[in-house]
Amino acid sequence: MHELPLTHRIFAQAMKAAEENRAVRIDAVYLKVGEMRDFVEEITQKYWDYISKGTIAEGAKIRFIRVPAAASCSDCGEIFNFDWRTKEKTACPRCHGTDVSLYSGAELEVVRIAII
């Protein structure tokens, strides 16, 4: 259900960009979405279709660019992908250090709006 308010925000951002660029139609909105985000493509598209009905964004497709979960090791600087669903503490594959921080995987941002 959290997709609805986020889809409203994405729609508002797309409409503002379209207005600023004097667009007559929005074809697609590209979202960078980290794999740790519980953001479902089908639900987002369904909400978009409902919200955009009767606007220049009607019929536009929401395109997801998925970003894997990655961590950065504080000890050696290694950046590595990890399984964020595991209950075990994430360790660096190079030095086996456990002082790591999230590098990617939590993103949710509009990266491109295709307009005509």
- Name the CATH code of domain 3-67+110-115 (choices 3.30.2320.50, 3.90.1170.50, 3.10.105.10, 3.40.50.20): 3.30.2320.50
| Residues tagged in the binding site annotation for Zn(2+) | 73, 76, 92, 95
**What is the pTM assigned to this prediction?**
0.88
Query: What pLDDT score was predicted for residue 87?
Result: 87
Q: Give the start-to-end residue ranges of the domains of the chain.
A: 3-67+110-115
| Residues tagged in the binding site annotation for Ni(2+) | 2
Cα 20–chain centre separation: 23
Tens-digit pLDDT profile for residues 92-105: 999 999 999 999 99
| Residues tagged in the binding site annotation | 2, 73, 76, 92, 95
- The H or E element spanning position 16 is helix 3-20
